[in-house]
Chain A
Amino acid sequence: MADNASWITPAAAIAESFPDGFSELRPCAQVNLRGDIADLAFTDAVKSVTGLTLPDMPNKVATGKDFKALWLSPDEWLLVGEGDAEALVQSLEDALAGQHVAVNDVSANRTIFELSGPHSHHALMKSSEYDFHPRVFAPGDCVQTLIAKSQAIVEQVGENMFHIYVRSSFSRYVGGWLAEALAEYNEAP
């Protein structure tokens, strides 16, 4: 596999226009996992490989040492980490051999933006109909929703810090949109 570091997404070309508090993360390992959460053989095998107990609560994130798991649907999770996606896929395939599962390397499928700072909520309010108020959405939560008119996964990784996962083909659209949403706050002295 080619070195992730040389990967280019369409958002990279407009990165110079990104204001403080907004950036595209460098590529990382993303693996899409599907299986039956009620099946101990499945959850045990996943745990043995990743150390993670997959979240069964909708829209929650479980965080382990190397990887975290984002709930995407009742039988689907996105594993995200700095490690080697290919190696993770292989270990999962080995541990899950014979089970009805789906494991896909989707590291290139989506790119991840990081949005942080005091105006991150405003940028989200301008871009999404979802309620990101701290009373409702907190670190450890993730949600699949729309950012402008693009599908996205939004994960809160810390106070006023969000990771926004979008399909790579939408990355220039979403990146440009969010950068412009923040412009109002950056121009003010």
Chain B
Amino acid sequence: MTQHFRTASGGRIDRKKAINFTFNGQKYIGYEGDTLASALLANGVHLLGRSFKYHRPRGIVAAGAEEPNSMVQLGEGATTEPNIRATQISLYEGLTARSVNVWPTVEFDISAINGLFAKIMTAGFYNKTFMWPRAMWMKLYEPVIRRAAGWGKAPTTGDPDIYDHMHLHVEVMVVGGGPAGLMAALAAGRARARVLLVDEQGEFGGSLLSKKRQIGAKDEMAWIADMLAELEAMPDVTLLSRSTAFGYYDHNYLCVLEQKTDHLPAAERKGKVRQRVWHVRAGQVVLATGAHERPLVFADNDRPGIMLASSVQTYVNRYGVLPGKKMVLFTNNDAAYETAIDLQAAGGDIVAIVDSRAEPSGELVEAVRALDIEILAGYAITGTRGGKRVESVQVRAIQKGAKVYTSAARRIDCDLVAMSGGWSPVVHLFSQSQGQLEYDEEKACFLPGTKRQAQQVAGALAGEFTLKECLAGGYKAGADAARATGFTPKRKPAAPEIDEPALGGIEPFWVVPGARPIGEGMAKHFVDLQNDTTAADIELAVREGFESVEHIKRYTLTGFGTDQGKTSNINALAILSGILDKPIPKVGTTTFRPPYTPVSYGALAGRNLGDWSDPVRVTSIHDWHVENGALFENVGQWKRPWYFPKTGETMQDALNRECLAVRNGVGVLDASTLGKIDIRGPDAAEFLNRIYTNAWAKLGIRRVRYGLMCHEDGMVFDDGTTARLAEDRFLMTTTTGGAAGVLDWLEEYLQTEWPELRVYCTSVTEQWAAVSITGPTAGALLKKLAPEMDLSPESFPFLSFKEGVVAGIDARIFRISFTGELTYEINVPWACGLALWEAVMAAGAEFDITPYGTESMHILRAEKGFIIVGQETDGTTTPQDLGMDWIVSKKKPDFIGKRSYNRSDTARADRKQLVGLLTEAPDEVLPEGAQLVFDANAPKPMPMMGHVTSSYYSATLGRSIALALVKGGHEKKGQKIFAPLLDRTVTAEIVDPVFYDKEGERLNG
């Protein structure tokens, strides 16, 4: 197919570089510089898809981000993307795209029958119809709606592309690379501020790319080129094209999506970052985001070939495309007349200009009259005809303020309708930044009002609709921004002579009347093309009692979807204002939220996927565990060996073997992950006295004590052993996951509550690797590794430590125990961990030493009734609930948590308390988290009396054991309790939580 609708010359396309692409299976040719939309129009393709609800034929309306229709499924396979607007796709060799929301094809769409039921598919249709019965929803409605209303399809395989993030700090960030934005960047750049200029398009220049203007001695293209040359030469100015500022957050933090390879043929994308999200912190932000043209709301205003006037001008001037050859222009302002002039100059025919104003006047109007184009003043389009393309319009004289028309119609044949309802400044980012909008009656639009962040506005966004105003306003905004961030702007350059038409006024015309008042007739005056919302829907919503603009939005869906109502929001609220008979400012706008245009999940995630989704912390012994077949458990950010299965072993086999090895021989555990904090100062002991529930003042040097930490509310939040290294120095250990939180906690009290305490805390977690050997033969093993060391209980009693050489490495050895067996925890400098571990394994071979993981550790400690914070506790558990009154000092006058123990709530007798459970059937292992009841036959919902916190099969005991929190449990030992499960009820007896070696006889080996 050839490009029948190309102009003879002109445009920013390279006619020497033909580009092959495929749309809906048909092959076409476009040029480099085209968008998919412009290339399709050049080939005469207007029908791009079907509408959301009624499946009406739809075409291209706009030329940029405001496009409500023309969504396509871009590409194929893993990189396919749904619902991309054809107006935002740069054409590249080999591009393939398909229409969305069509079935089976865009030309013949079965669901268009919805149009016949249009009367019932009004606002709130889905809400009303599909409420009940629920079964019908599952079986019928949802599948049908999914097929009929689904837009594009998400890829079914993982995204192979590369995405990343970049953080940038600048003094001045300029959003929008049109004339105002370029001038702002220039002013700030000349002042030597660090500047970032972003623009969503492939080329800088904004509206100048679509219009012919003489700026001083240069035409618009030479002017843009000179601006860019000067900006590019500045070392601290960053220019990003194809980059959309999509979110404006607190304190001038903005996110920008840079599409780095989306305009390239597939072969040139390989290995490159596809999209990058820039996270920018700016001292000042200059918003020069321009304005979007508004459609006019008239009956059947949605046919393919009905487009925004300025977009038609863009297609003609920028892309060298005639969107039609017989155009009717419908406008309420005279800026749009320029489109008629440009189209005619490019070889199109202007059939008529329909101007809703009774007496249009001004330079452009006169210029059009001079071209002998018919102007129908005080007229409106009241209807259109055409199947898959507009074929004619019906125009009528309209009385100002009339609710219905009465005059006779005239039919005008055409293949293109250009419409202009005026301009809406792109206030999205300004509004996201919490700025307040103000309605300007004269310009008939919302403009930025009170700002909340350090920013400037310029250009069309600020209501500066002429180029002259844009250049001056842009420079001033850039200079002000530079000055506000401490730079001195250079003198303002002299204003160039600009050749542009003077603009006349605009007369708002929000909805064209029909034969019957809006809401009563069958005619569809579309307001939101993407969501198929009509003026009648808004009227209906009001009739049903909705008044708030936010409610109307949700009920009618106006402003949802990928275009977020860029062309529809203002029309909708103006129509609402008319129905409610309230001035527009009183109706208010809906909230603008990020993102400004859609952003892929890949870009948002950047590199924070897979291995990088969260830090993985490993010990210095980690690779040994991997090589020896360990399976791992995540504990906080740490990877800890879970258990070490041997070939052919089930998980339970491995656990049984590991646990029995500890009970009968010796096991070894990598304990490096525990948090370690050096606590030093004359008041260190006093500080620990206040932090822990038990007493620390009298702990001897080289002795170790276990402690519980509670919050002020009395609830346990961490535990661990702490050793006294010297009179004024302690080494505290914390739980693996709690280390950072405990250090914050200690610093909080030292810095905010007790600054008088002379104590320093230093985190030394990774200074020390810890290898714990435990079991009856642990002593013999250590003797072998440290032959010089006196291990006798007199010299090295339980809860003490020694320093010495183990396997040739300077070490600190702690006698503590989490298994109930004789245990030595050997600490060496972190990077020596592997050397120590290997020495222990070698020396332990004769004792059949067995590495074990966290799961066996859990079983072993549960046999002893030792708690794990976060498993037996959940932030609502006191030491007393855990049966650990023994660790709560009665003598200390105060410590954190103490006062809360006699609050009525913590003193209740029916609190959940820690108990042991033995199931009636010894092989039955209760599921952790199972709810417990006293009466298995109680009617549902049963009163729940507690839950299982830990549950295992204990090879040591040859049966299952469990720990549980049970209401009043301490007084209920010997009683039966039940766990009603899905398929059965398990009976258990409440027992003491210590299942093994109650007397602690095994501690000394």
Interchain CB contact under 8 A, A109 and B766: yes
Q: Is A90 part of the contact surface with B, judged by Cβ < 8 Å?
A: no
Rounded to whole angstroms, the CA-CA distance of A80 and B144 in the bound complex is: 68
Rounded to whole angstroms, the CA-CA distance of A156 and B236 in the bound complex is: 20
The residues of B that contact A110 with a CB separation of less than 8 Å are: 766
Residue of A nearest to B678 (CB): A104
Q: Is B767 part of the contact surface with A, judged by Cβ < 8 Å?
A: yes
The residues of A that contact B768 with a CB separation of less than 8 Å are: 108
Rounded to whole angstroms, the CA-CA distance of A186 and B643 in the bound complex is: 40
Which A129-147 residues sit within 8 Å CB-CB of chain B? Answer: 129-131, 133, 135-136
Q: Is B32 part of the contact surface with A, judged by Cβ < 8 Å?
A: no
Rounded to whole angstroms, the CA-CA distance of A34 and B762 in the bound complex is: 9
Asked if A102 meets B623 with Cβ closer than 8 Å, knowing A7-B829, A168-B831, the reply is no
The residues of B that contact A108 with a CB separation of less than 8 Å are: 766-768, 829-832
Residue of B nearest to A130 (CB): B167
Q: Is B583 part of the contact surface with A, judged by Cβ < 8 Å?
A: no
Rounded to whole angstroms, the CA-CA distance of A125 and B170 in the bound complex is: 13
Q: Is B810 part of the contact surface with A, judged by Cβ < 8 Å?
A: yes
Q: Is B866 part of the contact surface with A, judged by Cβ < 8 Å?
A: no
Q: Is A53 part of the contact surface with B, judged by Cβ < 8 Å?
A: no
Number of A-B contacts (CB under 8 A): 130
Write the B802-831 contact mask toward A (1 if CB under 8 angstroms, else 0).
000000111000000000000000001111
Write the B955-982 contact mask toward A (1 if CB under 8 angstroms, else 0).
0000000000000000000000000000
Interchain CB contact under 8 A, B167 and A125: yes
Rounded to whole angstroms, the CA-CA distance of A126 and B163 in the bound complex is: 11
Residue of B nearest to A136 (CB): B169
The residues of A that contact B861 with a CB separation of less than 8 Å are: none
Interchain CB contact under 8 A, A109 and B166: no
Interface size classification for chain B: 35 or more
Interchain CB contact under 8 A, A168 and B766: yes
The residues of A that contact B810 with a CB separation of less than 8 Å are: 1-2
A73 shortest CB reach to chain B, Å: 10
Residue of A nearest to B279 (CB): A129
Rounded to whole angstroms, the CA-CA distance of A136 and B283 in the bound complex is: 14
Residue of A nearest to B614 (CB): A149
Asked if A6 meets B835 with Cβ closer than 8 Å, knowing A107-B829, A125-B168, the reply is yes
Which of A8, A102, A174 is B680 in contact with, Cβ under 8 Å?
A102
Asked if A169 meets B766 with Cβ closer than 8 Å, knowing A8-B620, A34-B760, the reply is yes
The residue in B169, B236, B273, B673 that gathers the most chain A C-beta atoms within 10 A of its C-beta is B169
Q: Is B439 part of the contact surface with A, judged by Cβ < 8 Å?
A: no
Which of A2, A101, A135, A148 is B829 in contact with, Cβ under 8 Å?
A2
Q: Is A43 part of the contact surface with B, judged by Cβ < 8 Å?
A: no
B775 shortest CB reach to chain A, Å: 26
Q: Is A27 part of the contact surface with B, judged by Cβ < 8 Å?
A: yes
Q: Is B77 part of the contact surface with A, judged by Cβ < 8 Å?
A: no
Rounded to whole angstroms, the CA-CA distance of A62 and B810 in the bound complex is: 31
Q: Is B756 part of the contact surface with A, judged by Cβ < 8 Å?
A: no
Q: Is A47 part of the contact surface with B, judged by Cβ < 8 Å?
A: no
Asked if A173 meets B829 with Cβ closer than 8 Å, knowing A104-B678, A109-B765, A133-B169, the reply is no
Write the B26-65 contact mask toward A (1 if CB under 8 angstroms, else 0).
0000000000000000000000000000000000000000
Interchain CB contact under 8 A, A104 and B762: yes
Which of B169, B614, B809 is A131 in contact with, Cβ under 8 Å?
B169
Q: Is B877 part of the contact surface with A, judged by Cβ < 8 Å?
A: no
Interchain CB contact under 8 A, B164 and A126: yes
Rounded to whole angstroms, the CA-CA distance of A108 and B834 in the bound complex is: 13
The residues of B that contact A109 with a CB separation of less than 8 Å are: 763-767, 830
Q: Is A18 part of the contact surface with B, judged by Cβ < 8 Å?
A: no
Q: Is A16 part of the contact surface with B, judged by Cβ < 8 Å?
A: no
Which of B616, B681, B766, B831 is A172 in contact with, Cβ under 8 Å?
B616
Rounded to whole angstroms, the CA-CA distance of A57 and B615 in the bound complex is: 31
Interchain CB contact under 8 A, B622 and A167: no
Residue of A nearest to B612 (CB): A177
Write the B598-615 contact mask toward A (1 if CB under 8 angstroms, else 0).
000000000110011011
Which B579-625 residues sit within 8 Å CB-CB of chain A? Answer: 607-608, 611-612, 614-620, 622-623
Name 20 extra pairs, CB < 8 A, besides A2-B810, A109-B830, A148-B615: A6-B832, A7-B832, A9-B831, A27-B831, A104-B678, A106-B762, A106-B764, A106-B767, A108-B830, A109-B766, A125-B167, A126-B165, A126-B607, A135-B236, A169-B618, A169-B619, A169-B638, A177-B612, A180-B612, A184-B272
Q: Which 10 A-B pairs have the closest CB atoms?
A: A7-B831, A102-B760, A131-B169, A108-B830, A169-B617, A108-B829, A34-B760, A168-B766, A109-B767, A102-B680
Chain B residues near A (Cβ < 8 Å): 164-169, 194, 236, 271-273, 279, 281, 607-608, 611-612, 614-620, 622-623, 638, 673, 678, 680-682, 758, 760, 762-768, 808-810, 828-832, 834-835
17 A-B residue pairs with Cβ-Cβ distance under 8 Å, sorted by A, are A13-B623, A27-B831, A100-B758, A102-B680, A102-B760, A104-B764, A106-B767, A108-B832, A126-B164, A130-B167, A135-B194, A149-B615, A167-B617, A168-B766, A169-B619, A170-B617, A172-B616
